[in-house]
Amino acid sequence: MTYYDTLASGYDALHEEEQVAKLKILLSHIQFHGKLLDIGAGTCIVARQLGKKVTVISVDPSKKMLDQGIGERHVAPAEQLPFPDKTFDGVISLTALHHCDLQQALSEIKRVMKPKAIIALSFLHKSSKLKTFERLLNTFFSDYEKIEAQQDFLYLIKHTK
């Protein structure tokens, strides 16, 4: 059993308000459409917030977290997304990628997104992987906007290489 499996039933009480606040900041800068992949979806907070506007597909390695959620859900790590190439119009990941192999996760995001997909990612300020994450963002994507939000940086990628 993983840390997030044990946390699943109380996750929203601990983190939903913070995650929704980050999502609102992102939505003040971008508009998602079509199919949106939520990586590290946890209890499907994004699906609950946006599910009436776009088709949200939630992915998380913790089945117990996803069991708390709604909509289409897949148990999988960010490094092995179970979708065909060029499937998604948008990709979002809120405070999850610091748990991943960044090279592989960003490679998978690039693989499953459609050309011109909108990507919104958040990353912990205090993560030891932050510099590596930003270097890899520059490698995988041509340009991004960085926004500071409480304990995270938010990254918006509107056009890709």
When pLDDT is cut at 50, 70 and 90, the band that residue 3 belongs to is: low
pLDDT for 106 equals 96
pTM of the complete model: 0.90
The closest alpha carbon to 113, from 93, 132, 130, 138, belongs to 93
Is the predicted pLDDT of residue 107 greater than 70, yes or no? Answer: yes
The distance from CA 155 to its chain's CA centroid, rounded to whole angstroms, is 11
Q: With a cut of 60, say whether residue 5 has pLDDT above it.
A: no
Q: Check pLDDT > 60 for residue 91.
A: yes
Residue 63 pLDDT grade (very low, low, confident, very high; cuts 50, 70, 90): very high
**pLDDT, mean of residues 44-55:** 92
All domains in the chain, ordered by first residue: 3-157 (3.40.50.150)
- Gap between the Cα atoms of 120 and 45, Å rounded: 15
pLDDT greater at residue 161 or residue 139: 139
Buried b (16+ CB within 10 A) or exposed e, 22-47: bbebbeeeeebeebbbbbbbbbbbbb
pLDDT digits (tens, 9 = 90+) for 124-145: 889 999 999 999 999 998 788 9
Q: Terminus-to-terminus CA distance in the chain, angstroms?
A: 39
Region 29-47 average pLDDT: 93
Rounded-to-integer distance, Cα 64 and Cα 29, Å: 32
pLDDT-derived band at 10 (thresholds 50, 70, 90) equals: low
Provide mean pLDDT across the span 56-62.
95
Per-residue pLDDT band for 95 (boundaries 50, 70, 90) equals confident
